[in-house]
Amino acid sequence: MEQSLPEKIRLLEILKKEGFDVPEFIYLTAEDFRNENFGRLETFFKEACQSFKVIVRSAHPLESFFKSGTFDSLEINADTAGIKYARKRIVQLAETAKKLQILRQQKFNNAPEVDPEDMGVIVMPFIEGTKVMAKKMGKRWEFGYTNDYAHKIKCESYITETPHDLKLVDLSEDIQARLGFPCEIEYIISRMRDIHVVQAKDISRVELLDINVSRRTVKLDGIRRVRKRRNYRERIVYVMDHRAFYLNIINACEDLVHGWGDSNCTIDDVLQVISDYESELEAFALKHERFGVLGLSIKIPDDLFQIANHYLDDTPELQKRLTSALYQNQYKIDYFLSEADTIIAKDRIRLNLCTHDAYGIDTVRNPVWFVYWRFEKQDQTVGELRRLGFKTGDMIGIDIDMEEKPTIYRL
């Protein structure tokens, strides 16, 4: 029976039995949700959950075959309705926002076919504090911090080999020794400085390599990254230009309204412009395991969005279909960008990194890089990139000098 449990549950049960500070938790299977079997959950709320809030973590039986963070966790009210909603939301995200990520892992990492409806969940009391991810790199432990104390003011994620409490080193050694394999351990450090173990993952199959090359062509202004010991990478890039994309949509709308062009344009032709673009993004992401995005125009220009969003106002039914497609398209763009580990764009773009995105084990070889040029140099830099002929499918090199100034060039 133990082997049928998701890895997340099995390892936490081992650690709890061994006396490590694992918060009380309950595991609910997909069958429990199908049969409305929530008696144990109600007991858990009464006996182990003093707060009005809990954290609901995904616990799919095949989750260990996927990267950390593939499936979601939610903070929710501590009642049965909240848990049902959280599980439904986790399943929905697996079928939508995380669908591309799952498909890519199945193609590039041999991850198995997975049915999101088989999703179980683990429920823990919500602990407000600092998230810490620990793993051993060579002979030394590293600790990635995310401060969740404040909602309005948050510190940047960072990595250190010297944790705030040196007990974390000994504790991590003890956990890894007990489990018997290299593991990634997630802690929550409470406001009272208590160290709670909330997750462990086997990372013995993850391979680590070094890259060391140096060349220069186009100088940019800076880079934001968590890991700084590697200063070069090569990536296939997708050149993203949403100004040009929206001009194509508007041109199609003009053909529809004014009857311009060689053939009669319909609303389906306008929507096809959008669906073709989404298919292009998905095909690119499924073709390249590691890729970058060169953003000539990543943020959809507000003026062009408003024009497209109101061009067909005289025909409300058609405009409704177009507006729905435009908003859905924004989600598809976000899903694509979340799969890139390298973004090259102006400094006004911001990446929201969760714990796993910032310093999970899968970021050791390929940490997220945001390479940027200053906003005031937008026209100059984009003009230079166009002049040099950067295009989708190019392999580029990124070299970072001693002053943290990146240079990009076509290989």
Helices (H) and strands (E) in the chain, counts: 12, 17
Predicted pLDDT at 155: 60
Phi, psi of 295 (to 5 degrees): -95, 90
Residue 219: which region, alpha, beta or left (left: phi > 0; alpha: psi -120 to 50)?
beta
The whole-angstrom separation of Cα 344 and Cα 384 is: 14
pLDDT tens per residue across all 411 residues of the chain:
344 789 999 999 999 999 999 999 999 999 999 999 999 999 999 888 777 899 999 999 999 999 888 999 999 999 999 999 999 999 999 999 999 999 999 999 889 999 999 999 999 999 988 899 999 987 889 998 886 544 444 566 788 888 888 899 999 999 999 999 999 999 999 888 899 999 999 988 776 543 333 333 667 777 777 667 678 889 999 999 999 999 999 999 988 888 765 568 899 999 999 999 999 999 999 999 999 999 999 999 999 999 999 999 999 999 999 999 999 999 999 999 989 989 999 987 666 656 666 556 666 667 788 898 998 999 999 999 988 889 999 999 988 887 888 998 888
CA 247 from centre of chain = 29
Q: How many CB atoms lie within 10 A of CB 377?
A: 16
Predicted pLDDT at 209: 42
Q: Sheet containing 26-28: which strands, arranged edge to edge?
A: 26-28, 121-125, 53-58, 73-77
- Here the tokens at position 382 are 């984009």
CA dihedral 213, 218, 221, 227 (to 10 degrees): -20
Predicted pLDDT at 207: 62
CA dihedral 243, 247, 253, 258 (to 10 degrees): 150
- Rounded to two decimals, the pTM is 0.64
Predicted pLDDT at 368: 84
Predicted pLDDT at 213: 34
SS3 for 310-352 is HCCCCCHHHHHHHHHHHHHHHHHHHHHHHHCCEEEEECCCCCC
Q: Please check whether residue 335 is in contact with residue 309, taking contact to mean a CB–CB distance below 8 angstroms.
A: no
The DSSP element (H or E) to which 299 belongs, if any, is none
Q: Which of 296, 282, 291, 273 is nearest to 331 (CA)?
A: 282
The DSSP string of 26-83 is EEE-HHHHHTT--HHHHHHHHHH--SSEEEEEE--TTGGGS-TTSS-EEEEESSHHHH
Q: Please check whether residue 353 is in contact with residue 61, taking contact to mean a CB–CB distance below 8 angstroms.
A: no
The DSSP string of 386-405 is HHHT--TT-EEEEEE-TTS-
Predicted pLDDT at 232: 85
Q: How far apart are the first and last CA of the chain?
A: 53
Distances (CA, A) of 306 to 235, 275, 323: 34, 19, 10
3-state secondary structure of 232: strand
Q: Please check whether residue 293 is in contact with residue 344, taking contact to mean a CB–CB distance below 8 angstroms.
A: yes
The whole-angstrom separation of Cα 210 and Cα 92 is: 37
